[in-house]
Amino acid sequence: MAEVVGIRFKENGKMYYFDPDNKTFSKNEKVIVETVRGIECGEVVSPNHKISDEEIVHPLKRALRAANAEDIKILENNRKKEIEAFAFCEKKVEQLGLDMKLIEVECTFDGGKMLFYFTSDDRVDFRELVKILASQYRTRIEMRQIGVRDVSKMIGGLGICGRPFCCSQFLDDFHPVSIKMAKEQGLSLNPGKISGTCGRLLCCLKYEQESYEYLAKITPRVGSVVDTREGRGTVTESNLLTGKLKVTLDRRPEAIPAEFSRKEVKLVKRAKINPETEEDAFTEE
């Protein structure tokens, strides 16, 4: 076991563990830490606690100290510089005729580097742009091409459910999502209905999948043979979320299927999945 403190550098970014170095930090406190790219200022999202060594990526960097008034002022100045650099870079991109869209500018805490995040359908020769930016800001310039899911996370917005994007609210990282998940959750396989604003499969398909897999194990699927209080029958309709089943009874096959909850039936024979009816499961990273 090791004591750690969880720190995030962006409002909706990934949480990283740091060694508190015998200091105690409170939630939402600004902290100066040592990272692979130098000294940074982050916010505590998980105060001092212990976790197993398997959960730690070694070597663990140190949390140096709580941020002071001067550190907060540096952060504010960096935010102003980022806004100014964004406008300047957009202007130069237009002047140079580059086929790219600027998404965000990030300035490291110590001012030693500025990162420009952009999207483009093709490779971009931005060497001239980097020279102009380096001359303007007298610091190291790094251009990073990102994907559509990263853009949604940075910019935010409303999903088809009417709520803010999951990726911009609470998801630390992206995970592979497959069309098979949508099928197992009983959703329409129409791409327009299971894709987010970014055009990729909905992130919620992934973090709801575990619950659906559990419900699928305890709920007889369509075609299964079950015993009910009214006799043996075959499941013709199954709702994983409500647990409601419609069963065609053997003793009255022409009648309307009777309705039961999964707790009221006993599985006799589980229906097998026909591989020939299974859609190809592609995955999006």
The arrangement of secondary structure in 221-269, i.e. its CATH architecture, is Roll (2.30)
Contacts 24+ apart (CB under 8 A), 139-142: 139/111, 139/112, 139/113, 139/114, 140/112, 140/113, 140/114, 141/113, 141/114, 141/116, 142/113, 142/114, 142/115, 142/116
So what's the pLDDT on residue 281? 41
Residue ranges of the chain with pLDDT lower than 50?
275-285
Query: Within 10 Å of residue 202's Cβ, how many Cβ atoms?
Result: 21
Domain ranges, ordered by start, for the chain: 2-67, 73-146, 158-212, 221-269
So what's the pLDDT on residue 273? 65
- pTM for the whole thing? 0.69
HSE of 20, CA atoms in CB hemisphere, 13 A:
18
Residue 106 parent element (H or E) = strand 101-107
The arrangement of secondary structure in 73-146, i.e. its CATH architecture, is 2-Layer Sandwich (3.30)
pLDDT digit string, tens, across residues 34-67? 888 788 999 999 999 988 888 787 788 889 999 9
Q: What is the Rg, in whole angstroms, of the alpha carbon atoms belonging to the chain? A: 27
So what's the pLDDT on residue 274? 57
